[in-house]
């Protein structure tokens, strides 16, 4: 039960929503609507309006429904919003449901040739002669379906007041300035805009996109591209992967950027990307490369993570640096490959059998996808262990507005490495000997330093095989010490403490955006919250302190089991009763409304 009415609609006096509504383009997948949607997003972005695009697409090549939501938010909110006000209904199979969900007062653009019978009187129907316009454009048959999407771009632009110059510029940007393609597409945009102008003179213009100055200096990028870029600036030189949605575009971006950034004057590469035969091999390749001393990564998703379990344990125990990106999607099992979730937290943290634990980074935005992209390699080398980076489909495959990325603020940290020359100074050396008390030994690289025998079997600090209980115990004690070192050096959580807060919220990753908005909604409803955003596992002391501050700590996450809440309860058994899980997983990014409602409901109990 929610007693407080929450609303995000802020209509002006005249009943017009300015830069604070959502557009949905409902299309058929494979019909080429991506350029159309990206064009709208970019045009709005260039008008200085905070904007976010989210693609809800099927695991399919052609013919299944796709919905692309564009949210304009003058307040800068970038989370998903569940309602929409402008609909481009381009998919006959879903139009009935799509129209039914359209907000009251909304605009519905659809192909005139459908001869729809209006079912709602509280919305405005805008039929467009799509077929006729496409015919008129002279588009070759192969392109007809693609360019048809430009009709809704033009109609939306005209109805909302989006500057057509920005649309043209955006088209030119995505079509890489190819004049013929730009002209063909823009012909339809203009045609559609003109049609609206001429035929719908008395339409209520309830929704308006007005120029602002809130995107100056910002860029638009997808999380997977940001991650790839980060890895390249982190000096990754071997990447191995097996195609899996939604991680594939990270490797695609890596290959694209590598062409520009990692080819030497003689045409030779300093980054090699190997498409492996499966995720086991991908893990093996990066572990081989990491053991040899190269910076290596793989990108995968849930099923791939499961397959990498055994190898992850080897890298943990033989202490081999490598970086594993998990662009999370829905599980269990194959789940929903094209839907987002945060369901791999516990799996990644404890991946592999025996007493294995891993360092897990939790980027929440584009800047962190980039920063953790390079920092993960520093941490891997410093801690001599696999570093998991948990992104998700929402972060990875959607376009986000962000401040430009900061160049790495420190040189690469290659960690503790001993060479043949060092050995002369050291005298004796044991690969797994904890000479500094931080649980981290000095590693040596083949061809560059003294030999040792790396293995996944029991070993002494001199890397010799051992089945002795005391050797085993000593080794695990040291690994535990190393994990404590990790606790201190992984990215720190970010706390926003409010003086009059009565409860705390913990979240991480892509849930950050809706939580930030939910806190404003809660504040408006009279509930002041403090916020603690986790950025890595293992949890640090700051998190323990935060949990200690409030009697109720809401842990918000996009999975079914409330995995982080479970982990917090396990880490802080003395405070376990104050940890309340707010978790939900239906394939969609969480919304601020749902989070605020859920917390209010618990508060009122």
Partner 1 sequence: MTARTAKTNALGLEKTAYKGAESTLCNGCGHDSISAKIIDACWELGLDQRYIFKLSGIGCSSKTPAYFLGLSHSFNTVHGRMPSVATGATLANRKLICIGVSGDGDTGSIGLGQFKHLLRRNVPMVYIVENNGVYGLTKGQFSATADENQRQKYYGVNHFPPIDLCLEAIVADCTFVARSFSGDPQQCRELIKAALSHKGTALLDIISPCVTFNDTPESTKSYAYGKAHNIELQEIEYIPPGLVIQRQEITIPEYAEGETIAVTLHDGSQILLKKTDQSHDPRDKQAAIRLLEQAKAEQKFITGLIYIAEPRPTLGELERIADTPLAELPEERLRPSREALAKIMASLA
Interacting residues toward partner 1 by CB under 8 A: 217-221, 229, 232-235, 237-238, 240, 257, 260-262, 264, 267-270, 272, 274, 276-278, 280-296, 310-311, 314, 318, 374, 404-405, 407-408, 411-412, 420, 444-448, 451-457, 464-465
Alpha-carbon distances, residue 600 vs 490, 550, 568 (angstroms) = 33, 16, 22
Please identify, using beta-carbon distances, which residue of 158 and 461 lies nearer to partner 1: 461
Which residues have a Cβ under 8 Å from the Cβ of 286 and sit 6 or more positions away? 238, 239, 240, 296, 297, 298, 322, 323, 324
Please identify, using beta-carbon distances, which residue of 43 and 600 lies nearer to partner 1: 43
CB of 446 to partner 1, least distance (A): 4
- In this structure, how many other beta carbons lie within 10 angstroms of the beta carbon of residue 488? 11
Using an 8 Å Cβ cutoff, are 473 and 447 in contact? Answer: no
CB of 240 to partner 1, least distance (A): 7
Please identify, using beta-carbon distances, which residue of 153 and 314 lies nearer to partner 1: 314
Please identify, using beta-carbon distances, which residue of 152 and 316 lies nearer to partner 1: 316
Please identify, using beta-carbon distances, which residue of 84 and 405 lies nearer to partner 1: 405
CB of 293 to partner 1, least distance (A): 4
Q: Provide the 8-state DSSP code for 591.
A: B
Please identify, using beta-carbon distances, which residue of 89 and 282 lies nearer to partner 1: 282
Which residues have a Cβ under 8 Å from the Cβ of 390 and sit 6 or more positions away? 326, 328, 342, 344, 345, 348, 360, 361, 362, 363, 509
Please identify, using beta-carbon distances, which residue of 151 and 299 lies nearer to partner 1: 299
State the Cα–Cα distance between residues 431 and 319, nearest whole angstrom.
Answer: 10
CB of 524 to partner 1, least distance (A): 33
The DSSP H or E segment spanning 62 is none
State the Cα–Cα distance between residues 29 and 56, nearest whole angstrom.
Answer: 10
Alpha-carbon distances, residue 568 vs 70, 549, 577 (angstroms) = 35, 14, 11
Q: Provide the 8-state DSSP code for 457.
A: S
Using an 8 Å Cβ cutoff, are 465 and 459 in contact? Answer: yes
Contacts 24+ apart (CB under 8 A), 109-114: 109/152, 109/155, 109/156, 109/159, 111/151
CB of 249 to partner 1, least distance (A): 15
Which residues have a Cβ under 8 Å from the Cβ of 85 and sit 6 or more positions away? 17, 21, 22, 23, 102, 103, 105, 106, 107, 206, 207
State the Cα–Cα distance between residues 247 and 223, nearest whole angstrom.
Answer: 10
Q: By C-alpha distance, which of 395, 381, 362, 391 is closest to 567?
A: 362
CB of 42 to partner 1, least distance (A): 10
CB of 230 to partner 1, least distance (A): 10
CB of 22 to partner 1, least distance (A): 23
State the Cα–Cα distance between residues 571 and 442, nearest whole angstrom.
Answer: 30
CB of 50 to partner 1, least distance (A): 15
Please identify, using beta-carbon distances, which residue of 74 and 414 lies nearer to partner 1: 414
Query: How would you classify residue 430: left for phi > 0, otherwise alpha for psi between -120 and 50, otherwise beta?
Result: beta
Please identify, using beta-carbon distances, which residue of 187 and 311 lies nearer to partner 1: 311
CB of 348 to partner 1, least distance (A): 19
CB of 454 to partner 1, least distance (A): 4
- Which tokens hold the place of 385? 């262990």
- Which tokens hold the place of 437? 């008390």
Please identify, using beta-carbon distances, which residue of 84 and 432 lies nearer to partner 1: 432
Please identify, using beta-carbon distances, which residue of 64 and 273 lies nearer to partner 1: 273
């Amino acid at each position: 039960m929610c007693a407080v009415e929450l609303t995000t609609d802020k209509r002006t006096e005249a009943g017009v929503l300015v830069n604070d509504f959502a557009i949905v383009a409902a299309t058929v997948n494979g019909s080429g609507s991506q350029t159309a949607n990206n064009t709208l997003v970019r045009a709005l972005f260039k008008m200085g309006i905070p904007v976010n695009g989210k693609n809800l697409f099927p695991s399919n090549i052609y013919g299944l429904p796709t919905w692309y939501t564009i949210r304009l938010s003058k307040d800068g909110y970038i989370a998903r919003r569940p309602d929409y006000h402008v609909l481009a209904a381009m998919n006959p199979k879903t139009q009935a449901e799509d129209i039914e969900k359209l907000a009251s007062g909304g605009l519905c653009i659809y192909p005139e040739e459908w001869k729809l019978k209006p079912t709602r009187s509280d919305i405005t129907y805008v039929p467009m002669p799509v077929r006729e316009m496409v015919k008129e454009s002279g588009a070759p048959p192969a392109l007809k379906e693609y360019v048809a999407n430009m009709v809704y771009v033009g109609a939306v632009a005209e109805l909302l007041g989006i500057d057509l110059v920005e649309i043209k510029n955006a088209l030119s940007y995505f079509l890489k300035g190819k004049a013929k393609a730009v002209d063909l597409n823009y012909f339809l945009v203009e045609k559609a805009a003109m049609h609206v102008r001429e035929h719908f003179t008395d339409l209520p213009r309830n929704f308006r996109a007005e120029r602002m100055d809130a995107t100056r200096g910002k860029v638009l990028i997808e999380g997977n591209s940001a991650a790839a870029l980060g890895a390249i600036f982190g000096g990754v030189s071997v990447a191995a992967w097996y195609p899996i949605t939604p991680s594939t575009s990270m490797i695609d971006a890596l290959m694209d950027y590598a062409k520009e950034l990692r080819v030497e004057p003689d045409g030779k590469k300093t980054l090699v990307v190997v498409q492996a035969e499966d995720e086991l091999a991908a893990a093996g390749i990066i572990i081989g490369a990491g053991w040899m001393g190269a910076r290596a990564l793989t990108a995968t998703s849930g099923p791939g993570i499961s397959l990498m379990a055994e190898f992850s344990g080897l890298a943990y125990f033989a202490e081999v640096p490598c970086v594993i990106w998990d662009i999370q999607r829905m599980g269990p099992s194959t789940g929903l490959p094209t839907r987002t979730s945060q369901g791999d937290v516990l799996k990644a943290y404890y991946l592999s059998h025996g007493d294995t634990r891993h360092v897990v980074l939790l980027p929440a935005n584009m800047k962190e996808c980039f920063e953790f992209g390079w920092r993960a390699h520093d941490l891997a080398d410093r801690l001599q262990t696999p570093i998991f980076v948990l992104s998700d489909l929402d972060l990875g495959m959607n376009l986000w507005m962000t401040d430009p990325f900061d160049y790495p603020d420190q040189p690469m940290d290659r960690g503790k490495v001993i060479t043949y020359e060092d050995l002369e100074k050291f005298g004796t050396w044991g690969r797994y000997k904890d000479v500094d008390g931080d649980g981290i030994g000095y590693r040596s690289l083949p061809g560059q330093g003294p030999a040792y025998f790396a293995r996944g079997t029991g070993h002494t600090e001199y890397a010799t095989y051992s089945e002795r209980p005391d050797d085993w115990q000593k080794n695990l004690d040291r690994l535990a010490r190393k994990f404590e070192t990790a606790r201190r050096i992984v990215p720190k959580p970010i706390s926003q403490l409010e003086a009059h807060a009565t409860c705390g919220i913990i979240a991480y990753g892509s849930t950050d955006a809706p939580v930030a908005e939910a806190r404003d909604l809660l504040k408006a409803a009279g509930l002041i919250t403090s916020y603690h955003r986790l950025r890595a596992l293992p949890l640090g002391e700051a998190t323990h302190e935060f949990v200690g501050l409030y009697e109720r700590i809401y842990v918000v996450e996009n999975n079914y089991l409330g995995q982080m809440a479970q982990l917090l309860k396990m880490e802080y058994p003395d405070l376990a009763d104050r940890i309340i899980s707010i978790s939900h997983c239906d394939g969609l990014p969480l919304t601020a409304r749902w989070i605020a409602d859920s917390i209010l409901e618990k508060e009122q109990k």
